[in-house]
Structure 1
Amino acid sequence: MGTATVLSVVLVLAGVSQAANILFMSGVPSPSHYIWLRPLMYEMGRRGHNVTVLSADIEKQPPANVTYVHLENFYSTMYNTSMRQKLNFFDMANESPTKMLKLFDEFGLNLCEAAIKSEGLHFLLGYPTDFKFDLFLSDFMIGPCVPAIIMHRFKGVPYIPTTPYNAPSTAATVLGAYAYSGLVPNHVFDAPESMSFMQRVKNFYYDLYEMILHDTLMHPEADRIVRKLYPDAPPSNSFYKNVRLSLANINPIIQYKEPLMPNMIPVGGLQILPPKGLPEDLRKVVEGAKNGFILFSLGSNARSDLLGPERIRNILTAMERLPQYQFLWKFESDESKLPMAVPKNVFIRAWMPQNDLLAHPNVKLFITHSGLLSTQEAIWHGVPIIGFPVFADQFRNINYCVEAGIGKRLSIQHFQADELVQAVREVLGSDRYSARMKRISRLFRDQKETPLERAVWWCEWVLRNPDADLLQSRAMYMSWFQKYSYDVLTFYLAVILALVALAWKLLSIVKHSFLPSSTKSKVE
């Protein structure tokens, strides 16, 4: 090998290993969103990069190279009285998709209003003027407003939007992808993959409504908020040109299939790490369960202690009627608030190490709200599911499980103890559900690298090639009206209507030219 070649290799390796300044923003005040992105934050820090995390959730003892900047008012904004009434998760199951879509946009705008009042954001914006970040990653669910503020302050920073929330159409369309209304249900629409004609009609409307809502509500309001800080800031959606690629919590093995742009990188299951040992109290319970244990958790937003006395009583009654199984229930309040005594076979804890419990060989079943992270972890570890979907993509997640034969769906709004007992007996009464789940688990795990390794490689690809925009689609710079050829269809429709009008006019002329002579001959 020549001297020049050796020198080239050394220079390339030096460029790859050079520490970069990376900014992560986990601004959605929901623990699951933070948990999904945290392994990537920590791994980038472990690899020697300087990682700054602007987050509603913080760690008291972060690992080396990771520094937190706290968005201290985000949880209080989400759970203030007026917003809490809108975000009553157990009532959301009754809301229309259009109302849900509008609520998501209002949620993002409320967080942006909170951000510009946050000491944490102002601390970040006060960094020295010559300081630069080499890469910026942000949860797409917060909307375009806060990222626009950051990208205006730190001009030219390459941007990677991330989405732990599957791949909502708005996240995919930022990269230029189509919203395939006939193929994939909108992320808030409760419909199966094989939609009926009327379901496709509705789904087309919801996708179109979401795009129009972004143009008429989200972006204009985001522009207004951004310009409170930076009056000279360009439109918030202009920063999409900084997008190099996106990391999405998707995997075609475990969800509905949809075409994606080449720079939408699937990292489904990013949060799934090797299991750790269980706390001593949990270890004794699960290892002492002769017939196995059942884990019951409704996630971090739809808290079990907010179910109400009647539903809690039905759940406890069902558990009591299944004494052969040990139940572990993530219940966030004190047992004294329960409407009945806790059965002997029920262990209650305010927090459960979900991934570690699902990895335990003694687990038999997972009763869940069907959140995406929970669904992925159950599939990864091969544990059948009973789902109580509450809102948004949870319906799509459990619908997939039902169609794949790996889970059963119940309604959180209207269920009795008998239904839960029957569902548990059905799922555990034969090997059908377990066998199918183990097969899909095997397929899900069979990857050339872990989702975390894939995410790291693509982040460092952007660091190595910060100006590389060759993966960007021309569709990123087109309006949705052009991208879907609605302008072309409008032109064709206008031509057809013009031809019809012309034909009608000619027919009228011909008719009137013959009508007088015909009438005259009749008179004679």
Structure 2
Amino acid sequence: MWCRLIIIIPLCISCTTVDSARILGVFPMAAQSHYILGNALMKGLAEAGHNVTMISPHEEKDPPKNGSYTDVVLTGFVEDFNKILKEMNLLDNKNQSMIKTMLNFFNLTIKLNEDFLKNENVEKFLESDQKFDVIIVEQFLVDTVKIFGHIYNAPVIVFSSLGANPWINNAVGNPSPLSYISPANSDFSEQMSFFERLGNVFMYLFFNVIDYFFYFPNQNKILKKYFSDPPDIYDLFYNVSLVLINSHESLNQPVPFVPKMVQIGGFHIRPPKTLPGDLQKFLDDAKEGVIYFSLGSNLRSKNLPPQKRDAFLTAFSKLKQRVLWKWEDEDLPGKPPNVKIAKWFPQQDILAHPNVKLFITHCGLLSTTETVFHGVPILAIPVFADQHRNAEIATHSGYALSLPYEDPSFSEVKLSGMLQELLTNPQYTDNIKKRSQLFHDRPLKPMDSAVYWVEYVIRTKGAHHLGVAAVKIPWYIYHSLDVISFITIIFSLSIYVLFISIRKIVICCKSQKPKEKIKLN
């Protein structure tokens, strides 16, 4: 019997480790919201029993119990990012055009790519003799990192924190009609007017010009600077086996997806934890309910100008409800007694509490996802990037009101009116509950879906059969411009020939017309 056990135990161990894949995640963005998503994905894969290595600016304080989780920390990235945020002050960016903002953003990404490849921990990592079965990278203007797929001869999975967008669509040949789909940083609705569609076309052309004449050439220069004979950036850009998208139809505009694209929106949301004692009591004792107010991880409430800050304070002082305000300072001058401040709150756990009646948010995608998950209506204060689009979708879906940060009518009176409408009109709560139901109604939990598709790419050695032909043909053929041009030329020639023929016939008829006889006296 013991002999049999000695033989069986090693076999069982080998069976459990055969399916354990070696997965490398590369998430260079230092923004906390980006790290939350990347970290949740990689921890989920580790919990599924895989050996995970994650390159990011942050260090994991609570590694998963299953599998294996290794951090490669991009030292200095968080400090540099916080410095940039302080210099930019996103709450005071109203006079800068979208084009200038995007150009500055592209310049920052060039620096990010360079900083990543010359980071000492990345250099040490590349010198180590490691093997990986799949590489997962975040598609956020850091395309040089896709060279890891080439280095380790492994399929590349792309993660999109912003849902479907032009960079993702172009990489996998996903259709994105400009007639009703606009960029994530636009607040155009699905039903665009003629001039909005015209603007949408110009934005599309602008971003493509920037990509192909500025961004990609610079990425190529960086690759050649740090690697000998690297692949062309265009080859790396299109070398995508799968796209994991942080979106879902209950949150985002329904759009087309090619087979390589899988929606996993909400995968980062975990079961609620017990709140700290004082916070639990604050929420439990709130008989009239609680309003939770946070502008996310990149925006700072403490940077609000006095006029807007006082508008919130005055509006809150008139409420029966209690308010939790994420305020990044020790003190808040003029704070009413019903307001509790802290530099950080466990957002997911707060939104899960039944006494939370409203969420005042910048409408970042993570916050929007979490409030839909827990069924809490929102007052949106969008500031930049995809926040305006998220606010527009939430308003259109009937579970939010929106007061854009730069709105000239932003005042205590307007703020109070919106708060009263959201707190007293049950339609907003009803709509968010219905939306939450749609969010939860899926064949698989988002994280389970992510794990399945990552393992699928590994099993199929890159899932090449999922690719569409669109990425292999020139843009003018993809849009049938050659066919349209041919038809236009033939039609024009036919009209021209017809016109000339008719003209000649008319002239001929006139020349053959008998002359009138002149009557002589």
TM-score normalized by the length of structure 1: 0.88
Question: Which stretch shows the higher mean deviation, 500-509 or 377-386?
Answer: 500-509
Cα distance between partner residues in 2 of 1:485 and 1:187: 26
Q: Deviations over 1:388-407 (max 9, x none)?
A: 11112111111111111100
Residue in structure 2 matched with residue 175 of structure 1 by the alignment: 172
- After the TM superposition, list the runs of 4 or more consecutive aligned residues in structure 1 that deviate by more than 6 angstroms: 500-518
Judged with a 3 Å threshold, the aligned counterparts in structure 2 of structure 1 residues 46 and 385 are, in CA distance, closer, same or farther, namely same
Cα distance between partner residues in 1 of 2:502 and 2:228: 60
Judged with a 3 Å threshold, the aligned counterparts in structure 2 of structure 1 residues 15 and 238 are, in CA distance, closer, same or farther, namely farther
How far is 1:207 from its partner? 2.1
Percent identity reads 33
One-letter amino acid of the counterpart of residue 456, structure 1: V
Residues 1:328 and 2:331 aligned together = no
Residue in structure 2 matched with residue 480 of structure 1 by the alignment: 475
Cα distance between partner residues in 2 of 1:423 and 1:370: 16
1:24-423 mapped onto 2 (5 Å cutoff): 24-64=25-65, 65-80=68-83, 85=87, 87-92=88-93, 95-128=96-129, 131-148=130-147, 150-154=148-152, 156-322=153-319, 324-335=320-331, 338=332, 340-413=333-406, 414=408, 415-423=410-418
Cα distance between partner residues in 1 of 2:398 and 2:292: 19
Q: Secondary structure at the match of 2:137?
A: strand
Judged with a 3 Å threshold, the aligned counterparts in structure 2 of structure 1 residues 344 and 84 are, in CA distance, closer, same or farther, namely closer
Cα distance between partner residues in 2 of 1:390 and 1:98: 16
How far is 1:256 from its partner? 1.0
Q: Secondary structure at the match of 1:253?
A: coil
Cα distance between partner residues in 1 of 2:451 and 2:459: 12
One-letter amino acid of the counterpart of residue 108, structure 1: T
Judged with a 3 Å threshold, the aligned counterparts in structure 2 of structure 1 residues 60 and 442 are, in CA distance, closer, same or farther, namely closer
How far is 1:133 from its partner? 1.1
Judged with a 3 Å threshold, the aligned counterparts in structure 2 of structure 1 residues 504 and 453 are, in CA distance, closer, same or farther, namely same
One-letter amino acid of the counterpart of residue 254, structure 1: L
How far is 1:139 from its partner? 1.0
1:447-462 mapped onto 2 (5 Å cutoff): 447-462=442-457
Judged with a 3 Å threshold, the aligned counterparts in structure 2 of structure 1 residues 356 and 191 are, in CA distance, closer, same or farther, namely same
Number of residues of Structure 1 aligned to a counterpart in Structure 2: 500
Q: Is the 8 A contact 1:383 1:434 kept in 2?
A: yes
How far is 1:122 from its partner? 1.2
Judged with a 3 Å threshold, the aligned counterparts in structure 2 of structure 1 residues 170 and 481 are, in CA distance, closer, same or farther, namely farther
Q: Deviations over 1:314-364 (max 9, x none)?
A: 211211122x111001111221xx4x3211011000011111100001100
Residue in structure 1 matched with residue 8 of structure 2 by the alignment: none
Cα distance between partner residues in 2 of 1:454 and 1:446: 13
Judged with a 3 Å threshold, the aligned counterparts in structure 2 of structure 1 residues 228 and 78 are, in CA distance, closer, same or farther, namely same
Cα distance between partner residues in 2 of 1:502 and 1:27: 61
Judged with a 3 Å threshold, the aligned counterparts in structure 2 of structure 1 residues 19 and 204 are, in CA distance, closer, same or farther, namely same
Q: Secondary structure at the match of 2:91?
A: coil
Q: Deviations over 1:231-281 (max 9, x none)?
A: 311211202453111100111122211111111001011111111111122
Can you give the 5+ residue segments of structure 1 that lack an aligned partner in the other structure? 1-9
Cα distance between partner residues in 1 of 2:386 and 2:29: 16
How far is 1:181 from its partner? 1.0
TM-score normalized by the length of structure 2: 0.89
What RMSD, in angstroms, separates the aligned Cα atoms of the two structures? Answer: 2.7
How far is 1:201 from its partner? 1.7
How far is 1:468 from its partner? 2.8
Cα distance between partner residues in 1 of 2:150 and 2:474: 22
